[in-house]
Amino acid sequence: MTAEQHLDAVGLYDRSGQRYSLDDPRWRGEDGSPLAVSALPGLRPEQIDTVERSLWRYHAVLPVPFDRRVSLGEGCTPMVPLEWGGRRVHFKLEWFNPTSSFKDRGVSVMMSHLVAHGVDRVLEDSSGNGGAAVAAYAAAAGIRAKIIVPAATSAAKILQARAYGAEIELVGGTRDEVSDEAIRQSERIPYASHNWHPMFLQGTKTVAYEMWESLGFTAPDNVVLVAGAGSNVIGCDLAFGELLAAGQIDRRPRLFVGQPEHWATIADTFNRIDPAGRGERVPTIAEGASIAHPVRLPEAVEAIRRSGGAACAVSEAQIHAAVRALSARGLYVEPTSGVAAAALDHFLASGQIAPDETTVVVLTGAGLKSAEKMAAVFAPESGSAR
């Protein structure tokens, strides 16, 4: 199948099963649900474009014209084996992406799709990293970007998006209220939402393809992730599902997911816990994961179940401790990434992750982007690393 035939065979569908063309500019279905890309064939090792040192080395499984890509060299991030609790664990360092977070993966593919369809302006709502990524890739594509940002977002993250030339609008209230405002404005400006747009997930799935390639074209036993909206969870599910269907792996890795305890909608739904029982939501130092109502909640929960994995909520104290423990090993991550390491501790202690298994922990963003939050973690009263 040629690249053109490959794209012609791909479409979008919503939860009701209605199908749409890739040329349709919509970002959600007629039923109001998020869209997904129809099933794609998995990748074989010989299909990897080894000349390309970016996630576009996997363009054979990306439903976007390769010659229209908007790329800043995203992907191909290090996967470093380290000792953790007496075990050897691989840490996937996603802050090596161009804007210092994993969001660049999804935004590169999403922006490539939008630009290929003639978009000259985009709108995004973000607590920080997503907005910075959209602003950067809009600049790279030569189009305008407007980012709607929660007023409480880290100043460094807002500065980064503004530096790329994006128009910034600060909105008070919760992360979900910011999203509501963006949806209202999407009637006038094409909505490049990293939570809603189906092409964003096509980019995030490449982190799993990199794990597979780095491990000698085998799947790890476990992948540990922090979840806010759940895009990395769903992305890993997509990629490992494609590889399984293609006969390139013989099983799905188990997906283990952590969330901040007052923002644990995915974990609580997976564990059949009523989130209301946790009481009023309070701010978390892991601001990138503070999403009360993930738009792809059913898909994220099903991805964890399909893998045979698990999900848990972690406390603020556990997040602080995990950030300090990572820093003690040379990994300076933003607190949102610390949720994944705190979840790793939980699943190791419970025995759900065994010592002899291959485990990859995805660390999503750099500590340098959250200076105020990191200062709080490393205040004298925070204690010392483990």
- Note the pLDDT of residue 175: 73
SS3 per-residue string spanning the chain: CCHHHHHHCCEEECCCCCEEECCCCCCECCCCCECEECCCCCCCHHHCCCCCCCHHHHHHHCCCCHHHCCCCCCCCCCEEEEEECCEEEEEEEHHHCCCCECHHHHHHHHHHHHHHCCCCEEEEECCCHHHHHHHHHHHHHCCEEEEEEECCCCHHHHHHHHHCCCEEEEECCCHHHHHHHHHHHCCCCCECCCCCCHHHHHHHCHHHHHHHHHCCCCCCCEEEEECCCCHHHHHHHHHHHHHHHCCCCCCCCEEEEEEEHHHCHHHHHHCCCCHHHHCCCCCCCCHHHCCCCCCCHHHHHHHHHHHCCEEEEECHHHHHHHHHHHHCCCCCECHHHHHHHHHHHHHHHHCCCCCCCCEEEEECEEHHHCHHHHHHHCCHHHCCCC
End-to-end CA distance of the chain, in Å? 53
Neighbours of 273 (CB within 10 A): 14
Determine the Cα–Cα distance for residues 256 and 41; give it in Å rounded to an integer.
Answer: 25
**In 188-218, which positions are buried (b, 16+ CB within 10 angstroms) versus exposed (e)?**
ebbbbbbbbbbbbbbbbbbbbbbbbbbeeeb
- Note the pLDDT of residue 8: 64
Residue type, 315: S
Contact by Cβ (8 Å): 289, 365: no
Supply the pTM of this predicted model: 0.94
Determine the Cα–Cα distance for residues 182 and 169; give it in Å rounded to an integer.
Answer: 10
**In 118-139, which positions are buried (b, 16+ CB within 10 angstroms) versus exposed (e)?**
ebeebbbbbbbbbbbbbbbbbb
Residue type, 349: A
| Tens digit of pLDDT at every position of the chain (386 positions) | 444 455 567 999 999 999 999 999 899 999 999 999 999 999 999 999 999 999 999 999 999 999 999 999 999 999 999 999 999 999 999 999 999 999 999 999 999 999 999 999 999 998 789 999 999 999 999 999 999 998 877 777 789 999 999 999 999 887 778 889 999 999 999 999 999 999 999 999 999 999 999 999 999 999 999 999 999 999 999 999 999 999 999 999 999 999 999 999 999 999 999 877 888 889 999 988 989 899 999 999 999 999 999 999 999 999 999 999 999 999 999 999 999 999 999 999 999 999 999 999 999 999 998 888 999 999 876 444 44
Residue type, 79: M
Q: Please choose, from the candidates 373, 345, 338, the residue with its C-alpha nearest in 3D space to the C-alpha of residue 359.
A: 345
Residue 194, CA distances (Å) to 172, 200, 383 in order: 20, 6, 36
Determine the Cα–Cα distance for residues 36 and 63; give it in Å rounded to an integer.
Answer: 12
Residue 147: both structure tokens together:
């980012």
Q: Is residue 23 exposed (0-12), middle (13-18) or buried (19+ Cβ within 10 Å)?
A: exposed
Residue type, 343: A
Angle between helices 335-350 and 316-327 (to 10 degrees): 100
Contact by Cβ (8 Å): 361, 91: yes
